[in-house]
Amino acid sequence: MPTPRQSDTLFRLLMAHRRRLVRYARTIVGDDHRAEDVVQDAFLRLDGAVEAGPNGAAAVSKPVPYLYLVVRNLAVDARRRMTREERRTAPEDGHFAMLAGDHPTPEATVIARDDLRRLEAALAELPERTRVALKLHRVDGLRLVDIAAELGVSVGTAHRLVSDALDHCRHRLRRS
């Protein structure tokens, strides 16, 4: 465990470079909140490397470059996850996009209502916890970490629940 002096030094280091690190992460992830999360995760990794003692000493001998490297790696990973998620959840046939216009055609309205009815049926087939996880993620806009805390599960389990729900709904919409 880092000594109080080490923790204080690390905290001051983070505060001195935080804005630049967040700005750097934001250029990669494109979002202020995710950039903040990336910087926080990088700081925790630095803290963990210090805690590791002699094994982490090489990485921590130059903590600022280490932080920038970790921020870059975490931001790239976050961007990849975001891109995969966007690809996985984008409507494939554009039915939902038809409603974006000011005056959808009657055909587009009928198709969208039918899609909505099939989606509601698919959601009703899901287990309660999976349905709640999807609602928290897609409707309430919670992050997986927050969903995990809300449901009392790990972040990996929260991700699996949301992913399973999306896969199920996608499969049901294609099948119908």
The whole-angstrom separation of Cα 123 and Cα 116 is: 10
> What is the mean pLDDT of each successive set of 10 residues along the chain, which is 176 residues long?
64 86 92 90 79 54 85 92 77 51 74 87 93 90 90 92 90 79
Q: What is the pLDDT of residue 174?
A: 82
Q: CB within 8 A of 102, min separation 6: which ones? A: none
Please give the DSSP secondary-structure letter assigned to residue 140: S
Q: Which amino acid is at 129?
A: R
Q: What is the pLDDT of residue 56?
A: 47
Residue-range domains of the chain with CATH: 4-88 (no CATH), 92-175 (1.10.10.10)
Q: What is the pLDDT of residue 87?
A: 74
Question: Hunting for tokens 């929260």 — which residue is that?
Answer: 158
Report CA 124 to chain centroid distance, whole Å. Answer: 25
The whole-angstrom separation of Cα 1 and Cα 173 is: 51
Q: What is the pLDDT of residue 86?
A: 78
